[in-house]
Amino acid sequence: MKVLVIGGGGREHAIVWKLSQSKSVDKIYCCPGNAGIAELAECINVSQDNFQALLDFVKYEWIDLTIVGPEDPLSKGIVDLFENDGRRILGPSRAAAQLESSKVFSKDLMRAHGIPTAEYKVFTSYLHAEEYIRFKGTPVVIKADGLAAGKGVYIANTTDEAMQALKLIMKDRIFGDAGNRVLIEQCLQGEEASFMAFTDGTTIVPMVSSQDHKRVFDDDLGLNTGGMGAYSPAPVITEELEHIVLEKVMKPTIRALKSEGITYKGILYAGLMIDNGIPSVLEFNCRLGDPETQPVLSRLDTDLMEIATAITDGRLSDIDIKWKKDPAVCVVISSQGYPGQYRQGDVITGLDEANRVEGVQVFHAGTAFRDNSIVTSGGRVLGVTATGPDIAAARDKAYEAIAKIHFEGMHYRKDIAGRALNRKPG
């Protein structure tokens, strides 16, 4: 079988890496890909925004399945276009992808169907939002309604911080039209975790739990990023809590969409806040998380191609999905300046040595080829991922591999998976 993966980040490298292990996959294409993906797949020179060109490519090459990695093509309806042409594609429709592309849609759906989430109000006026914050007080969470590459959420502990966030979103418009509407939410307390599941619109199969690190610096300081590292499993997600999340969040969400005439097929990701064993939804994503995908797929023991085709064909209940017991840890290495303006074009060395560390796989995110060298080409550059008999061993391997990698201005957190290691028993 032939498969096309859309995207060019660490998540997509992990997807391609896992597909390359499938006995049923003969050829993998990727658009646009990166330097690491190019070792496993043929990277095609087509814009991932040019849906018609991608569809034509799929027809010409007789590709059996397309897997969409990032959220932007989903929100713009690539699945609808492909399915209307009879092509198999993994991901939710444009209507279903509103769960991620519009936080207002998502919150309204949750409120209407009793899915636990924070209290919120929606504003289109900067002045009205400002008045509400002065009346409500802080801390509050301020979110741009639309897609913002994981950076459109601000936790404001003071009024000044809240006003600055409002100004960036609504006046400076750093996220463009994604900031036409702003949500101001109650600031929930507890521990965050990522809960991802496969679904064909009827059957829901949870993946192993994971937890990511959003802030750019150690001790969860600094700006929010797309994610600076992740590990799996997340001890905060117990078997009991997994059952609660399935019954109170995932199943009601699929049913709620179905009640509005929307069948959700693909990956459903709930970002959760856990407080005393009670989950609340912070956000939904309509695709695999990045960097959570890297440790989660490292633990997948079932053929990913089998799972993907079962989802698209509506027979997920036929697949017995199995996971490896060994935990996994991913540490992201970023360019200097990320998540703001960052350096590009720096030569990366030590990748082969890092990949030779037992249990380590270096996933590329923002990399490219230049003059026979691999260079940085994005904010998040690499996701060094390791498995081991426990989280501590996996983390040690990841940092051992990182010590062999170098590029000018490289930055990474030194405390990834620290929450799990420092967690008190019980």
Lowest mean pLDDT among 4-13, 73-82, 137-146: 137-146
CATH, domain 191-318, list 3.30.70.920, 3.40.50.261, 3.30.470.20, 3.40.50.300: 3.30.470.20
First to last CA, the chain: 47
Tell me what the pLDDT averaged over the chain comes to: 95
Percent of the chain exceeding pLDDT 70 equals: 99
pLDDT at 301 over 50: yes
Cβ-proximal residues to 120 (8 Å cutoff; 6+ apart), any chain? 107, 183, 184, 185, 186
pLDDT at 177 over 50: yes
Question: Could you tell me the pLDDT band of residue 234, with boundaries at 50, 70 and 90?
Answer: very high
For the chain, give every domain's residue range. 2-91, 125-180, 191-318, 328-421
Rg, the chain, Cα only: 21
* pLDDT score for 426: 47
CATH 1.10.260.40 fits 125-180, yes or no: no
Mean pLDDT of 166-174: 93
* pLDDT score for 315: 97
| In this structure, CATH architecture of domain 2-91 | 3-Layer(aba) Sandwich (3.40)
pLDDT at 425 over 80: no
Cβ-proximal residues to 281 (8 Å cutoff; 6+ apart), any chain? 110, 115, 116, 117, 249, 270, 271, 272
338-369 tens-digit pLDDT: 999 999 999 999 999 999 999 999 999 999 99
Mean pLDDT of 378-404: 98
At position 299, the amino acid (one-letter code) is R
Topology, domain 328-421:
Glycinamide Ribonucleotide Synthetase; Chain A, domain 4 (3.90.600)
* pLDDT score for 420: 84
Question: Could you tell me the pLDDT band of residue 424, with boundaries at 50, 70 and 90?
Answer: low
Mean pLDDT of 135-150: 89
Q: Round to whole Å and give the CA distance between 11 and 147.
A: 18
Question: Could you tell me the pLDDT band of residue 401, with boundaries at 50, 70 and 90?
Answer: very high
266-277 tens-digit pLDDT: 999 999 999 998
